[in-house]
Chains A and B, each alone.
Chain A
Amino acid sequence: MSVTNSNAAQSLDEVKRSQRRSAVAYGYQKASPHLILWGFIWVVGYSTTYFRPQANAAVWLLLVLLGITAGFWIGRRTAAEGSRTHDWRLAASILATFLFFVALFTIMPPRSGLQVGAIIPIFFSLCYAIGGIWKGGARFVLLGLAVGALTVAGYFWVTPYFLLWMAAIGGGALITGGLWLRRV
């Protein structure tokens, strides 16, 4: 059995394509439960902030801590046998994000709670879009664009109901996006 040059080149292309498809599908599979989790957190957080604004800080603190804890749990549950690399990456990402927002809000203090409620989702939308561009995950790019655009639209066009908008549309988009990523 001999392999010609063109057969070898064709096989190498096929190897590349399959690896790329597999890596993208793997990324979707890993991200899916996290998106669904944070979608529910947005639903609860934004709607509570709308109906009980006085409990805003406490509710978000509790929800973010809950989300981080659940994120670690999901990471461990879905990690490959013997792999714990997910843990430090998640911890480092949380720390980097926290430091970014501390710096951002110190340099440019927000004038209203709505600004905080809009800028954080826009930041995460940007992360999805950039991650998708670099990793070749078109669904991440679309999700980032959708959540970012919906956040901006809600902030400017439905300002009085922005928090409800983010609970229903923003949280809903994350949950739907998470479910969509599972369908690979």
Chain B
Amino acid sequence: MEQPNTAIHQPIRLKIMAALKALPTSELLEFTRLKTIIGATDGNLGAHLATLEESGYVEVQKDFVRKKPRTRVRLTRAGRRAFDDYVAYLREIVEQAG
């Protein structure tokens, strides 16, 4: 990879992808939990998730639980692949320098 993947390169989006990748395949993570793990605000996280969703890397599911809205997120197959490629790209840079 010559250039970094710009959708993942942004630090908050990288954290989102990393946090979601740590879960079993097709496991959903609640927005509020993701917010705590990442340490982001509602608006910030929402905006970055929208970017990742547009890129096809995450899937956002919205529903209601006991009349309360719930938003859950998970990585898509393309997202897993893109994240793996990006981490490999970072490792390559570190290894080349070392």
Contact = CB atoms under 8 A, between A and B. Distances in A.
Interface of A: 1, 3-5, 8-9, 11-12, 14-16, 18-23, 25-26, 29, 80-83, 184
Interface stretch (B43-51, B63-71, B85-93): B85-93
Contact of B37 (A5, A14, A22, A81): A22
B28 interface: yes
Contacts of B37: 18, 21-22, 25, 184
Interface residues of B, number: 32
A19 B90 contact: no
A5 B27 contact: no
B18 A19 contact: yes
Given A8-B93, A8-B94, A22 B87 contact: no
B33 A18 contact: no
Given A1-B6, A12-B94, A80-B28, 5 more contacts: A5-B93, A12-B90, A26-B27, A83-B26, A184-B33
> Which 3 pairs across A and B sit closest by C-beta, in order of nearness?
A5-B97, A22-B19, A18-B18
Given A21-B37, A83-B26, A1 B19 contact: no
A23 to B, nearest CB: 5
Nearest to B16: A18
Contacts of B19: 18-19, 21-22
Contact of A8 (B3, B21, B23, B90): B90
Contact of A9 (B3, B23, B38, B94): B94
Interface string B1-32: 00110100101001100111111111111000
Contact of B22 (A3, A8, A18, A81): A18
